[in-house]
Structure 1
Amino acid sequence: MLALIGGTGVYGMEGMEVTGTVAAETPFGMPSSPVIKGRIANQEILFLARHGLQHQLLPSEVNYRANIFALKSLGATQIIGISAVGSLEERIAPGDLAIPSQYFDWTKGKRAASFFGNGIAAHVSTAVPVSVQLMNWIAGRAKEIGIRLHSDVTYACVEGPRLGTRAESHFLRQTGCHIVGMTNVPEVFLAREAQICYATIGIATDYDCWMEDPAMHVQATEIFALYKQSLLKAQNLLASLLATPRPEEEPEIRQALACALLTPEHALTQEQKAWLEVLRR
């Protein structure tokens, strides 16, 4: 089943026939919002608002573990996220869409970044952190319907909530990053631990602050005004995607825990076995 995680400004899906709402408490706490179950174009989907239905959660306050676990427990095997991003390259203009294929974690350790720890050890491979099948599906559909989209870019995730300094922006550019945001880490890595195929549609809102022209260093109100204008483009792309068959799920992602768990089964508590069984589905 496909799940959608809505970022800033996305608190529901246009054209979705709602079939249920689940307040899915998890072993890791409550998710950001209830999970909405529904159908679009005869496809069953799940929807969750990353920042809460009233956008009350800062990026570092989001319970990413609960969000991913709730979606997995309800049957999600593929996730597409929607996120606001800043552009670190001139070719990625404000209003453009971009799909990351790589991630650079520049958060500060404030976020619970793994399901594992506290008596259970596992190490999943994230050399290729996203689903190439989902990424190609999104990029191919965008090309077909004439939406400008940049694929195979690197997303730098920063802690926030403040917007970055020019020095930080230049540093991220020098590391080879193309876009910057505040929410995809640890979301992308938790999805891999949950054996869920994951991809993000990033909406470029501005040029961050690396350009010399101060006029390009926009304020948050201007950023989100442009973002709202671009949301329609992303929603049209999603609607077009959902009118086509979903791509196959990569076996290496759906079996990511097969060789990752180091703690023997007999050493796990019944509680640990229960939530691990959900991740293994």
Structure 2
Amino acid sequence: MSTPAIQLAVIGGSGLYALPLFEQEQALEPDTPYGAPSGPIRIGQLYGQRVAFLARHGEAHALPPHRVNYRANLHALAQLQPAAVLAINTVGGITPACAPRALVVPDQIIDYTWGRASSFWDEAGPMRHAEFGEPYSARLRNRLLDAGQRAGVALVDGGCYGATQGPRFETRAEIARMRQDGCDLVGMTGMPEAALARELELDYTCLAPVANWAAGCGDGEEISLDEVFANLAATNALLPRLLEALLA
């Protein structure tokens, strides 16, 4: 009997190191031509579907954004041939629609990172210029937005994710520039992950929980770590309903 296909691979971001209600069947620790992924890829059942989960920063959050081996992560997931890949990227909010505790499904991205291995085509071999005008899968974005409606989970449809280098947070001037550039969100892990997924032709999209206002945004007051954790707990509490609807 053939093994059932993986319907969804989830890449967990900051604050999400395991999937609620996930029934694990196996844990893979693959090696890749690009080194080891961030941690084990856990495969099991979620709402009657076969699902894979990988914690982007490692299950103990040992990897800062600029040290994540994005190529190894995406290569390892691609070998499993998942029907779709949902990346959860914790972000800061810049524009009013992207306030703390919002769940955003961005449709564009601007890359401000540097020095990261950003392509699988760095070495000798045939080069491919991946089409990236629309960086996220329209099909999967629409499925996710529809799942939010059916689950009663409010999702913000669209927005531009600004991917910064980290691990430090941004200055007010940097965020002001990003707002001027058209960014609604700021995070540190959106690139090169999205571009690598496109090179591998993965059906990939991003769900961005907003943990805090970016520097100089919102009420302008400095946010505490306790507030960040409380905001992430609130958004993570909505994930089971959303994933159940997505997998239905």
Q: CA RMSD in A?
A: 1.4
Q: Is the 8 A contact 1:77 1:195 kept in 2?
A: no
Seq. identity, % = 36
Q: Which has the larger Rg?
A: 1
Structure 1, 223-232 or 7-16: larger mean CA deviation: 223-232
Among 225, 230, 236, the alignment partner of 1:225 is 230
Flag structure 2 segments of 5+ consecutive residues without an equivalent. 1-5
Cα shift at 1:15: 1.5
- Structure 2 letter corresponding to 1:144: R
| Residue pairs, 1:170-249, within 5 angstroms | 170-211=176-217, 213-215=219-221, 217-242=222-247, 244=248
Q: Is the 8 A contact 2:95 2:217 kept in 1?
A: no
More helix by share: 1
Partner of 1:13: 19
> Per-residue CA shift, 1:166-221, capped at 9, x if unaligned?
00111111111111111010111100111101111100112211337442x31445
Whole-Å Cα distance in 2 between the matches of residues 28 and 76 of structure 1?
20
Partner of 2:105: 99
Among 26, 46, 50, the alignment partner of 1:44 is 50
Whole-Å Cα distance in 2 between the matches of residues 134 and 200 of structure 1?
9
Partner of 1:257: none
Cα shift at 1:11: 1.3
Query: Does residue 150 in structure 1 map to residue 175 in structure 2?
Result: no
Runs of 4+ in 1 over 4 A off after TM superposition: none
Query: Does residue 66 in structure 1 map to residue 69 in structure 2?
Result: no
Whole-Å Cα distance in 2 between the matches of residues 222 and 184 of structure 1?
23
Q: Is the 8 A contact 2:93 2:217 kept in 1?
A: no
Relative to structure 1, is the Cα distance of residues 169 and 220 closer, same or farther in structure 2, using a 3 angstrom cutoff? farther
- Structure 2 letter corresponding to 1:82: I
Q: Is the 8 A contact 2:57 2:65 kept in 1?
A: yes
| Residue pairs, 1:155-166, within 5 angstroms | 155-166=161-172
- Structure 1 letter corresponding to 2:115: K
